[in-house]
A and B are shown apart, each in its own frame.
Chain A
Amino acid sequence: MAKDAAVTVNGTPAPQESHARRWAGLGWGFIAKLIMMALVNALGLAIVFSAVNSEAWAILACSVILLIAANIIYFAKRTLPLKYLFPGLIFLAIFQLFTLAYTGYVAFTNYGTGHAGSQEQAVEATLIQNERRVEGSPTYPLAVVRDGDTVGFAVTDEEGFVRVGSEEQPLEPVDGGAVSDSGVPTEVPGWEVVSRADLFADADLQAEVIDLRVPVSDDPEDGSMRSRDGASGAVYQSSIDWDDEAQTFTDKETGTVYYADQETGNFVADNGDSLPTGWYVTVGFDNFVRAVTDDALAGPLAKVTLWTFAFAILTVLTSFGLGLLFALIYNDPRIRGRKWMRTVFILPYAFPAFMSALLWRGMLNREFGIINDWFFFGADINWLGDPWLAKFAVLWVNLWLSYPYWFLVCTGALQALPSETMEASKIDGAGRWRQFRSITLPLLLVSTAPLAISSFAFNFNNFTIIYMLTEGGPPFPGTSGLGSTDILISAIYNISGVSGGSADYGLASALSILVFIFVGIISAIAFRQTRKLEEI
């Protein structure tokens, strides 16, 4: 190769260029890449190490794989397309593909309040919940101590020795502790004693102290030291016994035995009683079945589904219709000030949607809202509290929000229509209506139908407007927690309990799957429909 290059046209050999001269150095690009990769590796290793520390094996495995993949991709030569795709793909894989797949998994479990962790965690939680103060046990003088962020207890035992421990570390005697006249530890080596005054001033610390359980010894059966007031402590023991081999709990007082039921993820006794804390297990299609058969849920959910479709379809129809109408009227060069008018027409669209919804919520308020005051002569119309009026209000506000979009789209589409066709039809004697029906509308639909379908899909999941305007209310009678204007996604939000309250991730995910199926069908139809229209 080097020899070929050295041969010149006229045949005389040119002086050979040393190959070292062609080496242009590493270049800024390479250095920038090295720096980026160093940062990525540092960040990745930080995540790997903290995953090891917190024993999160799934996260550890994923982060190790992704980190190795990143290094291979950016330092190998053959992986050119991946060099450009990798950053986006990582986020896509973790925050979209994984969440979609995980939704699918959770939909088949009973994950939620009462079934929030593994069986091991459920056992631990049950032991803690059933802790009772040991009958007739002594009270120990106690001081709250801390070491950085760790809070612990120091107690003076019967012999006057100071023992100290924290949640992680069982009580152990310390040397060199000092005790006050009343027996309360005042000085503990290695720990800072929190004074009573400081304790009373700090509400967070008080809460932490009340929850703190310092194990008495390494054996959990011995119970733990707890304190109600931060000045005295007592030993608490669980009133329930866990037998790891038999996988049963035994109530020490009543002798009731609770078996681990792997079908439901609960500890169940023979008489049907169960302990409040369970673990999550896969339950098959139970969540889906429950959505259609549960007495409290099925009726409201059916109504919600119907309303979701009605809301999405009506929103698209009304806003498309109004936008198209305005576009037809004002797509007329003879009108003066068209540009100015158009700007005002689309103002609602430029105003952030969530603020519009909140603003209308205020304006539609029954008592002080100006809609009642100005347009209905102060009548007492409960816009957001009546099931039908609330539905109407939601549609009305969404119409206000979205007609400008269709106005813009239709104006653009109208201006792109071929004028020859229009003129030809005029010559053939078509009236205005005929022209619109037979030429304008079909041509318009070719370019706007895909947008109408994506707008439908968008409104199908338009959480913001529903939640901001009515929060799904007014509520249905019954205990479902759903309301007349709830659409599926806001119903899922209420059921899931992610914002507090009782959580049912399993059922919520099952409903999400239903939404995905609806959306998938709509998209499939959309694909076919757009192709059909284009053939016209």
Chain B
Amino acid sequence: MTATTTQAPVRRSPSRRGRWWAEIGWKYPVAAVIIFYAAFPLVYVLSASLSASGTLSSGGALFSDISLSNYAALNDTSYWTWVGNTLIVGVSSALGAVFMGACAAYAFSRFRFKGRRAGLTTLLIVQMFPQTVAFVSVFLLLTALGDVFPALGINSKIALICVYLGGALGANTFLMYGFFNTIPTDIDESAKVDGATHAQIFWKLIMPLVTPILAVVGLLAFISAFGDFILAKIVLVSEDQWTLAVGMYQWVSNQLSANWGLFAAGAVIAAVPVLIIFLSLQKYIVGGLTAGSVKG
């Protein structure tokens, strides 16, 4: 590096240029290929969303006609209802997961009680068995609950949130437990001496110190609720209750009535905030992912 930069403006000798090509130079054209591979479908969906034809067909070049008709047409569909539903379900399950996970992690990290080790081990084992595989009994359970209490039955967003929260403890406790353990217990000891209750220690001392992990868990819970398809499809039956995943699938699942123009516009609107959040919080999300959760 030093060799090339110090003599930069001067013509390089052929052998040095050859070495530069062999060492670094070839990586640029390769990068161009990767960038094409990575970004081409995304550029394409942007172009399709701006096309007036309402299909994904390749009638012309990318961005050959620019029109906002697909975006305008979204207003005549239930798209915005679905966006609202997705936000309600995603935000509630994220908040619930953060709250319950933090409480459990606090208990496991700070209290010494009978069954603590067994509890942790059980959680570790339970989280290996994904809830989605048990969707048949989730369906049967919600059908039974719905006969008693419709708000907890099939076709209720509250029921779906509850189902997601059922998986929250298993998925997040370990991630948070590890983080809680890094906060020295001296802090709570001294607060206890000053007369603080366990609740005050939890809310006023520990919670502010663990905000990074709260953000990660909240974000991961939101992303997994946002991306979940199988449970949402089973639980939410009527069109006005659907989340984006269920609704947008329904738009394009039928060959004959597939509306790709709407899909493209809807995908762009929904993906842009997700892309921005993801790319700006990349570091945290990757930290959380490497600690054990996988994005849905």
Contact assessment for B100 and A345 in the assembled complex, using a CB-CB cutoff below 8 Å: no
Binds B, one of A130-138, A296-304, A329-337, A434-442: A329-337
A446 in contact (CB, < 8 A): no
Contact assessment for A362 and B56 in the assembled complex, using a CB-CB cutoff below 8 Å: yes
**Known contacts A100-B134, A347-B42: A516-B129 contact under CB 8 Å:** yes
Contact assessment for A368 and B295 in the assembled complex, using a CB-CB cutoff below 8 Å: no
- B41 to chain A: which residues have CB within 8 Å? 348, 356, 359-360, 363, 400
B191 in contact (CB, < 8 A): no
- A102 to chain B: which residues have CB within 8 Å? 134, 137, 140-141
A230 in contact (CB, < 8 A): no
Contact assessment for A405 and B134 in the assembled complex, using a CB-CB cutoff below 8 Å: no
B226 in contact (CB, < 8 A): yes
Contact assessment for A98 and B128 in the assembled complex, using a CB-CB cutoff below 8 Å: no
Q: How far is the CA of A412 from the CA of B282 in the complex (A)?
A: 12
A200 in contact (CB, < 8 A): no
A512 in contact (CB, < 8 A): yes
**Known contacts A87-B103, A454-B294, A464-B230: A92-B169 contact under CB 8 Å:** yes
Contact assessment for B148 and A358 in the assembled complex, using a CB-CB cutoff below 8 Å: no
Contact assessment for A96 and B103 in the assembled complex, using a CB-CB cutoff below 8 Å: no
Number of interface residues, chain A, beta carbon within 8 A: 99
**Known contacts A87-B103, A345-B35: A370-B229 contact under CB 8 Å:** no
A-contact bits for B115-156, CB 8 A (1 contact / 0 none): 010010000001011111111111111001101110000000
Contact assessment for A350 and B56 in the assembled complex, using a CB-CB cutoff below 8 Å: no
A404 in contact (CB, < 8 A): yes
Residues in B140-195 with C-beta less than 8 Å from chain A:
140-141, 144-145, 147-149, 162-163, 165-170, 173
A492 in contact (CB, < 8 A): yes
Residues in A477-536 with C-beta less than 8 Å from chain B:
489, 492-493, 496, 498-499, 505, 508-509, 512, 515-516, 519-520, 523
Contact assessment for B58 and A368 in the assembled complex, using a CB-CB cutoff below 8 Å: yes
B248 in contact (CB, < 8 A): yes
Total cross-chain contacts (CB, 8 A): 276
A88 in contact (CB, < 8 A): yes
Residues in A84-103 with C-beta less than 8 Å from chain B:
84-85, 87-89, 91-92, 94-100, 102-103
**Known contacts A365-B56, A493-B135, A516-B129: A354-B229 contact under CB 8 Å:** yes
Contact assessment for A499 and B234 in the assembled complex, using a CB-CB cutoff below 8 Å: yes
B97 to chain A, nearest CB (A): 9
Q: How far is the CA of A138 from the CA of B125 in the complex (A)?
A: 67
Out of A56, A84, A354, name the residue touching B106 (CB < 8 Å): A84
B270 in contact (CB, < 8 A): yes
A20 in contact (CB, < 8 A): no
Q: How far is the CA of A455 from the CA of B292 in the complex (A)?
A: 9
Contact assessment for A106 and B137 in the assembled complex, using a CB-CB cutoff below 8 Å: yes
Number of interface residues, chain B, beta carbon within 8 A: 97
Out of B39, B260, B264, name the residue touching A344 (CB < 8 Å): B39
B253 in contact (CB, < 8 A): yes
B131 to chain A, nearest CB (A): 6
Out of B55, B107, B141, B147, name the residue touching A368 (CB < 8 Å): B55
**Known contacts A96-B166, A332-B27, A347-B275: A412-B290 contact under CB 8 Å:** yes
Binds A, one of B67-75, B77-85, B196-204, B210-218: B196-204
- A269 to chain B: which residues have CB within 8 Å? none
Contact assessment for B253 and A88 in the assembled complex, using a CB-CB cutoff below 8 Å: no
Contact assessment for A81 and B45 in the assembled complex, using a CB-CB cutoff below 8 Å: no
A-contact bits for B264-296, CB 8 A (1 contact / 0 none): 100100110011001100100010011010111
- B138 to chain A: which residues have CB within 8 Å? 95, 99
A414 in contact (CB, < 8 A): no
A401 to chain B, nearest CB (A): 10
- A412 to chain B: which residues have CB within 8 Å? 286, 290
A50 in contact (CB, < 8 A): yes
Closest residue of chain A to B229, judged by CB? A464
**Known contacts A29-B199, A358-B248: A512-B270 contact under CB 8 Å:** no
Contact assessment for B271 and A355 in the assembled complex, using a CB-CB cutoff below 8 Å: yes
Q: How far is the CA of A332 from the CA of B103 in the complex (A)?
A: 43
**Known contacts A99-B141, A100-B129, A348-B38: A59-B104 contact under CB 8 Å:** no
Closest residue of chain B to A447, judged by CB? B290
A467 in contact (CB, < 8 A): yes
B24 in contact (CB, < 8 A): yes
Contact assessment for B249 and A351 in the assembled complex, using a CB-CB cutoff below 8 Å: no
Out of B128, B168, B271, name the residue touching A88 (CB < 8 Å): B168
Closest residue of chain A to B197, judged by CB? A29
A81 to chain B, nearest CB (A): 4
Closest residue of chain A to B113, judged by CB? A81
A433 in contact (CB, < 8 A): no
Out of A96, A347, A461, A464, name the residue touching B38 (CB < 8 Å): A347
**Known contacts A355-B248, A368-B58: A103-B1 contact under CB 8 Å:** no
Closest residue of chain B to A101, judged by CB? B137
A242 in contact (CB, < 8 A): no
Contact assessment for B162 and A358 in the assembled complex, using a CB-CB cutoff below 8 Å: no
Q: How far is the CA of A332 from the CA of B295 in the complex (A)?
A: 27
Residues in B225-247 with C-beta less than 8 Å from chain A:
226-230, 233-234, 245
Out of B44, B134, B202, name the residue touching A103 (CB < 8 Å): B134
Contact assessment for B148 and A350 in the assembled complex, using a CB-CB cutoff below 8 Å: no
- B137 to chain A: which residues have CB within 8 Å? 98-100, 102-103, 106, 509
A343 in contact (CB, < 8 A): yes
Q: How far is the CA of A215 from the CA of B138 in the complex (A)?
A: 36
A51 in contact (CB, < 8 A): yes
A31 in contact (CB, < 8 A): no
Q: How far is the CA of A50 from the CA of B150 in the complex (A)?
A: 10
- A128 to chain B: which residues have CB within 8 Å? none
Q: Which 5 A-B pairs have the closest CB atoms?
A: A95-B166, A88-B100, A84-B107, A350-B278, A88-B169
Can you list 6 residue pairs at the A/B interface with Cβ under 8 Å? A368-B56, A368-B57, A461-B130, A464-B229, A498-B139, A509-B136
Additional pairs, 17, CB under 8 Å, beyond known A50-B149, A81-B107, A106-B140: A47-B148, A50-B148, A56-B147, A98-B137, A98-B141, A330-B27, A350-B278, A351-B42, A351-B271, A360-B41, A362-B56, A363-B41, A368-B55, A370-B57, A405-B294, A454-B292, A467-B229
